[in-house]
Amino acid sequence: MRSSIVSLLLGMAAVMVGSLTADSVMAQEDVAFRSYLESLRPRARAMGIRDATLNDVFATLTPNPRVVQLDQNQPGGGAYAPIPNFEPYRRTHVDAARIGRGRTAYLANRARLARIEAETGVPEEIMVAIYGHETNYGAYTGDFDLIRSLATLSYEGRRRSLFEPELLATLKMLDNGVPRSRLIGSWAGATGYPQFLPSVYLRLGKDGDGDGRVDIWNSEADALASIANYFVHAGWRRGQPWGIAVSVPMGLDRASIAARTRPARCERVFNRHSRWLSMAEWRRMGVVSSGGNWPADPVMATLLEPDGPGKTAYLLTSNYRAILDYNCSNFYALSVGLLADAVRQ
């Protein structure tokens, strides 16, 4: 009996020690997290963020392990890793339902879309296609607390150089009067109908309905105007298409059109593109427009064959690069362009 009691007491002691150890680790983690937040004050003050704002929000923050897990589970892929076919992606992202909802959004916003296009040169359908791809026309904009998510990812440190500026930008938004309840979005910080990062909102958000506020969470007018403003700053060229679908002759010497420079960014994306040639040069090589339409002869374009030789290919202008600036993925940019074309028809 005595032996059983001793064993029980020892077991209870071990549990208590374990519990104390876990509590101690949690306490140390909390101290480290709060110390990190306090280290941001000088930079926040330099941005004009008031101490009262920082005091109020810092007191509410705790780390969110879920966003760290989501960040660490992001798929990789080297610059020269095999690329899957685009066609399965196209079928699920440029489907009848998305096109139908896009046409509804397009018709409902025609007056403001036409005005924005006249001001910026960004086509109405491109604005609608971005809106559709990012949030399914406002149906889902994310449900993560931006400040908590970005504070966690910044503190964790693996990609602090990316997330810390976005955390500070979100704090600036809060200090500017954007309600905390509105600062909701993806786990990585994208928010609102256009899924802007906070720094992009501060830099390029635009009032589209004239009420003096930039509300990309509730105002379609503000969201569409902000999307167009993004593309203006990304270098969109008025009157030029994003690209055209083409067929390529089987005998095309692909080595002769290979890109000659190494991409400065997004190697996995740009390594799939040919070098730049004019539309006239592509025609002389036997490339044929699938729709029969050709941009002007001097327009420069690169060739992309996302499903390999013998399948639909695309000649892509500098406006395609503007879409890549929004999201550096060939599949994303192609589907935006194709959805825009379908919505406009």
Tell me the β-bridge partners of 301. Answer: 277
Burial class (CB in 10 A: 0-12, 13-18, 19+), 105: buried
In this prediction, residue 264 carries a pLDDT of 86
Tell me the β-bridge partners of 245. Answer: 314
Contact 212, 227 (CB under 8 A): no
pTM of the entire predicted model: 0.90
In this prediction, residue 325 carries a pLDDT of 97
Tell me the β-bridge partners of 246. Answer: 289, 313
Question: What mean pLDDT is reported for the chain?
Answer: 92
pLDDT above 70: residue 15: no
- Spell out the alpha helix ranges (H) of 121-219: 124-135, 146-156, 160-175, 198-204
In this prediction, residue 65 carries a pLDDT of 95
In this prediction, residue 13 carries a pLDDT of 53
In this prediction, residue 30 carries a pLDDT of 86
In this prediction, residue 27 carries a pLDDT of 76
Q: How far apart are CA 141 and CA 147, in angstroms?
A: 15
Mean pLDDT of 57-80: 85
SS3 47: coil
In this prediction, residue 292 carries a pLDDT of 87
Element (H, E) at 185: strand 184-185
Instruction: From residue 89, give the alpha-carbon distance in Å to each of 37, 94, 111, 145, 334.
Output: 41, 8, 32, 30, 10
- Spell out the alpha helix ranges (H) of 41-122: 41-46, 51-58, 65-72, 87-93, 96-108, 110-120
Mean pLDDT of 168-174: 98
Contact 312, 334 (CB under 8 A): no
196 contact partners, CB below 8 Å, separation of at least 6: 190, 204, 205, 216, 226, 230
Q: What are the pLDDT digits (tens) for 308-340?
A: 999 999 999 999 999 999 999 999 999 999 999
Provide the 10 A C-beta neighbour count for residue 205.
23
In this prediction, residue 262 carries a pLDDT of 87
